[in-house]
Amino acid sequence: MKTLLRNFDILTTSKSSPIKGGSLLVNGGRIVEVLETRSPVPEEGIERVIEGRGRLLIPGFVNSHTHLGMTLFRGFAEDLNLEDWLEKWIWPAEENLTPEEVYWGSALAAVESIKAGVTTVADMYFHMDQTAQALEDSGLRALISYGIIAPEMSSGGEEEVKTGLALVDDWDGAAEGRINAALSPHAPYTCGDDVLTELSKAAEEKGVPIHTHLSETRDEVDRSVENFGLSPVARVEKLGLLENEVMAAHCVHVDEKDIEILADYRVLSLHNPTSNAKLASGIAPVAKMSTEGVDVGLATDGAASNNDLGMIKEMKLAAMLSKVSNGDPESLPVEAVYRMAVAEDVDGFGLGKLGKIEEGFKADLIAVDRNSSRWIPEYDPLSNLVYSGKSADVDMVMIDGKVVMEEGKVTTIDEAEVIEKVREIATKYGRIRQSKLSNTT
Ligand SMILES: [Zn+2]
């Protein structure tokens, strides 16, 4: 379908000022032509025209690390460290999850993500067939993976790897190429050496990326050094995992040597500032990693540790934390944090070319309304977007050339039905939470 987006202020890349009153031609899911101000606009063969009315047009946000199904546990266990949060609350509750519940939790996350201007998610969880289905239904672009947890191949590993591979076989390239799959050792601390080696080989054979958690807490690093004599980064390097395309969530506790390894292997480090702050895991040295040549993506992590899936506030927090932790107001400036949020520098990882409004790039676009008081005055739209914008300012979302949200309404799935289903499911987890609370007090 040939679509014309007319009279928008178009931010093509982080390095340029918006084209005032520009237009854009989209066809077959891709950007065909970017038309400068007052250029003649083609009329022939256009099936749909979207009027900009002065809105800002930017590439959609890429939430590079999340667990969509975890919206079911939003607000379930608060103000805990990662270990207590996972081991005492989240993992025991997750044992009760049914595939159908994960579908609805993922659908809720998909609605929330789209409304916040997210067009791509990298998701790792379980009952992933249901998440994949919700993603297909929603119209989102995604890199999905099953989170493998196994101490050894002989104790659960065989089965886990099989499940991970089945997801790749069933979904990689699905939904007209919108859904791709990765392999996910959940983390080096939840997977044995032989499981990590096996996954490394399998990823190479299948030609898919690896998506994992890495060096999230001080404790994880200390235990790794104690048990293996190596940091988690050095350990996965030794096991050959980094020979693949690797996306590593967190990288909070990485030293000079770790950063050198991440840069050498072109690992994409995924920064989750809210989740890391909330669980008191720490602040990833994002500015330092970037200077040393490590590419960084921005992410929300799951809704249970965030607690929302919006990327605008994530940009702001990333910038603020970097400035505070480095004592340097120039650390992680507006353009840098925006580039991370739209994955402007990322090419590959099953996601392809995203993050710029240029010919040949995917037509994953969002329109931002700048009429609310928080956008006035506007000396620099990018700084307003990062520092005063809100998810609610996004009012049109296009993914793969198709409009999936307009005037604040998601067009692909029924938001009211999803909300009703999740409220129903939450009564079960409310009971589980209540009985845990009464047992602990
Ligand atoms: Zn995570």
Residues 6+ apart with CB under 8 A from 229: none
CA-closest candidate to residue 124, choices 148, 144, 100: 144
CA gap 324, 316 in Å, rounded? 12
In this prediction, residue 330 carries a pLDDT of 97
Class of domain 61-353: alpha beta
For residue 441, name the pLDDT band (cuts at 50, 70, 90). Answer: low
Report the share of the chain in percent with pLDDT over 90: 93
Residue 350: pLDDT over 90: no
φ/ψ bin of 201: left (φ > 0), alpha (ψ from -120 to 50), beta (otherwise): alpha
Q: Can you tell me the mean pLDDT for 436-441?
A: 81
Q: How many CB atoms lie within 10 A of CB 415?
A: 18
Q: What is the pLDDT of residues 211-224, one digit of tens each?
A: 999 999 999 999 99
Task: Please give the distance, rounded to the nearest whole angstrom, from the Cα atom of residue 299 to the centre of ligand 1.
Answer: 9
The pLDDT of 11-32, averaged and rounded, is 95
Each domain of the chain, given as residue ranges in start order, spans 3-59+356-410, 61-353
- Reply yes or no on whether the pLDDT at 352 is more than 90: no
C-alpha torsion sign, points 253, 255, 257, 261: positive
**In this prediction, what percent of the chain has a pLDDT beyond 70?**
100
CA of residue 216 to ligand 1 center, whole Å: 9
Q: Are strands 409-410 and 402-406 parallel, antiparallel or unpaired?
A: antiparallel
State the distance from the centre of ligand 1 to the C-alpha of 173, rounded, in angstroms: 23
Section 60-68 average pLDDT? 98
pLDDT in tens, 313-337: 999 999 999 999 999 999 999 999 9
pLDDT digits (tens, 9 = 90+) for 70-101: 999 999 999 999 899 999 999 999 999 999 99
Give me ligand 1 centre to Cα 154, in Å.
26
pLDDT at res. 346: 87
Query: Separation of 148 CA from ligand 1 center, angstroms?
Result: 13
Residue 39 has pLDDT above 90, yes or no: no
Contact 227, 192 (CB under 8 A): no
pTM of this structure: 0.97
Q: If you measure from the C-alpha of residue 307 to the centroid of ligand 1, how many angstroms do you get, rounded to a whole number?
A: 13
| Whether 211 contacts 186, CB under 8 Å | no
Tell how far the Cα of 401 is from the centroid of ligand 1, in angstroms: 29
Average pLDDT on 347-357 reads: 88
- Dist. CA 64 → ligand 1 center (Å): 10
Tell me the CA–centroid distance for residue 382 and ligand 1, in Å.
28
Residues near ion ligand 1 (CB < 5 Å) are: 301
Whether 405 shows a pLDDT value over 90: the answer reads yes
Distance 235 CA to ligand 1 centre (A): 20
Q: Looking at residue 349, what is its pLDDT?
A: 87
104 CA to centre of ligand 1 in angstroms? 19
What pLDDT does 387 receive? 98
- Topology, domain 3-59+356-410: Urease, subunit C; domain 1 (2.30.40)
167-189 residue pLDDT tens: 999 999 999 999 999 999 999 99
